[in-house]
Structure 1
């Protein structure tokens, strides 16, 4: 299955929504991966906009059942989903990570709780709001306070750009890409299509190149707080977050092609080892004819790509590393690994 990225209406267009806090916990398997997958799936829920995420912390398990420590985190969303619908959606997310509701207080791959929804109090039924555990769980209180400090005005930013018309790129419903960004996407995709024609690529690889170009900057204009809510990696520089976040949401949305996901995820900093899809996108992103610097040199490189792909890639890596040095940017370890491999 790789049909992610088709337009289906903006996920962040929540109308008269409310702020909700959702607690995430995991103590089975790859705990960090379970939390990351949950954040991505929450971010693409309908009528819901992910706003921010607290830091991840490790805590002792609750209850008397012997089990391992938990990783815990809390996220804030703006949503117009009714509480019961939200709870059903969160249970569905739990099931995608292998959660089976059996033993009370038992270990779990993923546990998602609605902690509170602004303006809503429930004292009976399937959902008690605020969550009855809030007062007793100091880690929830810390995470809640952290989220409140990140959102002093509690008003969601305008996250979803107007989608392009019939002649523009097909972007996912959660895309945040303004007009200039979409124009860049079109140029990059056209360049990749041209190279694919000249190189006589097989249909599957041609489609992968086109989709990587179409989707690589789907979140380029998103708010940094949102991007860091999706990608809990403090080591990533701000300018590289959008690729990692887009890849996470694409995977949550059903994209399964590893080469497309890796291309989108790493297109800013580079990656090694990398297949042709990632290297092609890395080059096309830099060689976009709409960029105003080193125009003759980059145009010459663009013409060389389909005839001497590997040589052109090495040259683009040298150009981009040199440009980063001139801009005063320190090289990320991923970029250095790619540079060393490309020599």
Structure 2
């Protein structure tokens, strides 16, 4: 990985306690060896995407650098999700925590376990808008995000929240 290459994650929760779930995941992410959190976006409350018959989400985006491989980082993210009791029972369903790799610098990956850029990112306000906040100065990802926002047709609502609480 080159020094300027940043990894962007989307982090979300819609199962109580949403704020605690996200804060715990962010702390565990920051505590990982071989990971440096560079920036975290503002918090957003967002309408559920896909399966809309569920509680609203809180979402943030995180920029980081890492010496881990994509598969190693994905494994660490899954460990954090499992520690926070993430259950994958309903596609696009409620979740205690969701940690998705969205962009990895200029890399394009398509394996059985990981697609980067994230296959659905271009269709999701809750991914694009928080990521735009923290990728504006990234010469690789910033223009990608700006172009996706310009072409985006997601009509779901998203609102920035100040002090987050349940």
**SS state of the match for residue 135, structure 1?**
helix
Aligned to 1:62: 49
**SS state of the match for residue 72, structure 1?**
strand
**SS state of the match for residue 122, structure 2?**
coil
Aligned to 1:27: 14
Residue by residue, what CA displacement relative to the aligned partner does 1:65-114 show, whole Å, maximum 9, x if unpaired?
A: 62101001100001111111101100110112111222211100000000
Residue by residue, what CA displacement relative to the aligned partner does 1:15-55 show, whole Å, maximum 9, x if unpaired?
A: 95831001000000111111111111111112110011001
Aligned to 2:75: 88
Aligned to 1:128: 115
Structure index of larger Rg? 1
Q: Is the 8 A contact 1:22 1:115 kept in 2?
A: yes
Structure 2 unmatched ranges of 5 or more: 141-161
Aligned to 1:118: 105
Q: Is the 8 A contact 1:121 1:128 kept in 2?
A: yes
How does 1:278-293 map onto structure 2 within 5 Å?
A: none
Aligned to 1:74: 61
Quick one: higher RCO (CA 8 Å, sep 6+), 1 or 2?
2
Report the CA distance between 1:132 and its aligned residue.
0.9
Partners of 1:119 and 1:73 in 2: how far apart?
21
TM-score (norm 2): 0.78
Report the CA distance between 1:121 and its aligned residue.
0.4
Q: 1:142 aligns with which of 106, 111, 129?
A: 129
TM-score (norm 1): 0.39
Report the CA distance between 1:59 and its aligned residue.
0.8
How does 1:320-339 map onto structure 2 within 5 Å?
A: none
Q: Relative to total residues, which structure has the larger helix share, 1 or 2?
A: 1
Matched, 1:49 2:36: yes
Aligned to 2:149: none
